Amino acid sequence: MLQVSKIAEHKEEYIKALKKRNFDASDIFEQVLTLDEIRRSTQANLDDILASSNKMSKEIGLLFKNGEHEKANILKEKTGRLKEESKELSEKLTATVADLQNLLYTIPNIPHESVPAGMSEDDNEEVYKEGDIPVLAEGSMPHWELAKKYDIIDFELGNKITGAGFPVYKGKGARLQRALITWFLDKATEAGYTEYQLPLLVNETSGFGTGQLPDKEGQMYHVTEDDLYLIPTAEVPVTNMFRDNLMNEKDFPLLCTGYTPCFRREAGSYGAHVRGLNRLHQFDKVEIVRLETPENSYAALDTMVEHVKGLLKDLKLPYRILRLCGGDLGFTSALTFDFEVFSTAQDRWLEISSVSNFENFQANRLKLRFKNKENKKELAHTLNGSALALPRVLAGILENYQTEDGIKVPEVLVPYCGFDIID
């Protein structure tokens, strides 16, 4: 959520920047500033009335004490009228604050100056590519056919139990999945991240805190009776651990990692491009989250990008990195790098990670602040990244490592799996 004071200070600059997102902020900024002026004037009037009422109450006590009952009763009538006025102003203030907050919730983050303009994923900028795309033998299969051939993932059984998008991993498929999770967590802890085991359900406040609500409400599974949401990513519970915290500058950086299943409704996702593991309603992911001071957050983003690059190098998967354009940038992000692995059998790139800096956008919602060197309160910066999301990584391994004899296991995973080939 943007700060009102910053909107007032940088209004024209922000309007120009948000055009990269194809978002016209002119009218909404005017509404924000008008509501904020109403809020401030109402608050000032309320404060004056409460101060007058308190002063009169003290005078009334003294008048009664001195036997000046007539004067005291006149003041009592005035305080009664002030009480009514303060009640009306208090209700007006509450309504204005709510309207202002709801309006601010609809405004996306200001994109970083390096974000390219663009309408969609077609306008994203490739900034890095590494790895040789393997040449597969004739008759090579996409991962969903390999999964069936070697009996390691059963999509039909998942459909029977729950529905489409909920696969069942079996035998060596389940062990390879577990190996990836453990290896990702080990690599994160080696890099200095503290591991957390987290709730898979969060309350509405947590959803608003990290920006999934109200922006992505349609993609989240809602447990209506308890008003809880299944998490779409571990980013939500991890970052919300620090909601309403006032920290010290020496506490930073804070590095957190966690493995969770993730749940996304992905309404309207159909067709060949979402077949198999390409898009699921439930999937596993290891997330890394960092809390940083503003001056260090972009260096931290580079470190996170290097961490994910290291994972893909070790897995020896061909991949590329894209800087997302304004039209494809997530609502809460100031700058995002997407990682895509090449799926050889499908002859297409599959997104397997997003690494983002939210600057203070989430922190403003979360009321996540720290005392800086001057002992002044300042909003922290939050960052997160998938390290990694499993389904498409697994798809890439199955397709790129397939041979006539079976599917080889990446060397770094063999100690975790206990086998070196799926046959």
Annotated binding residues for ATP, as ranges?
A: 264-266, 351-354
Whole-number Cα distances in Å, 143 to 12, 167, 213, 237, 351: 50, 13, 34, 32, 16
CA distance 350 to 364: 33
Mark the binding-site residues for L-serine, compressed into ranges: 233, 264, 287, 384
Residues 350 and 338: beta-carbon distance below 8 Å = no
| C-alpha closest to that of 209 among 244, 248, 259, 257 | 244
Max CA separation in the chain (angstroms): 106
| Cβ neighbours for 122, distance < 8 A, ≥ 6 positions apart | none
Q: Please count the other Cβ atoms lying within 10 Å of the Cβ belonging to residue 70.
A: 8
Q: CA-CA distance, 346 to 134, in Å (whole number)? A: 13
**Residue ranges at the known binding site:** 233, 264-266, 287, 351-354, 384
Please name the residues in contact with 85: beta carbons below 8 A apart, sequence gap of 6 or more: 49
Side chain identity, residue 149 = K
Cβ-proximal residues to 99 (8 Å cutoff; 6+ apart), any chain: 35
